[in-house]
Amino acid sequence: MDIKKISNNTVQQIIDTFTKQLMNGALKPGDQIPTEIELAERFGVARNTVREAIKILVAMGVLEIRRPVGTFMCEGFTEPMISPLIYGVILGRGDSYDELMDLREIMETGTMLTVIRNATDEEIASLSEPLVALGQACRSETPDVEEVFRRDDAFHEAIMHLAHSRVVERIADTVRTMTHDMRHESVELMLQSGRGEELYQAHEKLYRILSTRDLEGVYREIRSTYFVPDGENGVRSLSE
């Protein structure tokens, strides 16, 4: 397992590392991972941070603790658990990145359709607040990547809550966790290329679709709001 010291003492960065290791095949089902002490030393973080990340990954069905032997990557998952289903995409064969993007599209399309069906006009209108906050961050003279990403995340989380479905929220939240790193990279690339306004407009488009309850627009426009790394242009929309 290839581990590099992380810049911030955060649980999410450790989860991101495990995600990348699974995607590139460095970690496989059944592999034993280093001990908490070893991971803390190699990540350059506090042991409590590693312990918290492991707890989350165990709860998600990614890791299992076999006392007194150690902690291992799970070799399967149980039906009552949702999170392992998401990780099943990574643990399976094929292009994990593309499959995660497909899963994200399916989940966000389904979430928006559920919001259109379940949310009131007043609830949908409340999305204008996180949208305005995102716009302010994107239009700053020197946009801060972390601030824009936090407000981007807050907007999508607000949409998720309007579905009024615990199942939808659980799955959507898991997908957001798994795609955290790729979403952060997209935001960073958009800002670096001076396309902050375009990033905001993509979210404004989602708000407009929900406000008008445009069912066809959900299917027509969702891919145009996704930006992914591109070797030649830095970043591109999935609809291009």
Six token digits for residue 27: 């970690």
> In DSSP terms, which residues pair with 151 in a beta bridge?
none
In tens, the pLDDT along 191-206 reads 999 999 999 999 999 9
Whether the CB-CB separation of 149 and 166 falls below 8 Å is answered with no
Query: Where are the domains positioned within the chain?
Result: 11-73, 94-237
Whether the CB-CB separation of 57 and 18 falls below 8 Å is answered with yes
**Residues 6+ away with beta carbon under 8 Å from 67:** none
Torsion of CA 113, 81, 17, 66, to 10 degrees: 180
Q: 27: phi > 0 → left, psi -120 to 50 → alpha, else beta; which?
A: beta
In tens, the pLDDT along 181-193 reads 888 988 999 999 9
- Distance CA(156)–CA(134), nearest Å, equals 11
Q: How far is CA 218 from CA 9, 31, 104, 179, 203, in A?
A: 38, 41, 14, 20, 12
On the 0-12 / 13-18 / 19+ scale of CB atoms within 10 A, 152 is: buried
Residues of the chain with pLDDT under 50: 77-82, 93
Whole-number pLDDT of residue 233: 61
Q: 94: phi > 0 → left, psi -120 to 50 → alpha, else beta; which?
A: left
- Distance CA(194)–CA(197), nearest Å, equals 8
DSSP code for 44 = T
- Distance CA(189)–CA(211), nearest Å, equals 29
- Distance CA(221)–CA(232), nearest Å, equals 24
Residue 222 CB neighbours (<10 A): 20
- Distance CA(186)–CA(149), nearest Å, equals 9
Residue 92 CB neighbours (<10 A): 9
Whole-number pLDDT of residue 86: 55
In tens, the pLDDT along 86-113 reads 555 555 545 566 777 788 888 899 999 9
- Architecture of the domain delimited by 94-237: Up-down Bundle (1.20)
From the candidate CATH numbers 1.10.10.10, 3.30.70.20, 1.20.120.720, 2.30.40.10, the one assigned to the domain spanning 11-73:
1.10.10.10
Whole-number pLDDT of residue 96: 61
> In DSSP terms, which residues pair with 235 in a beta bridge?
229
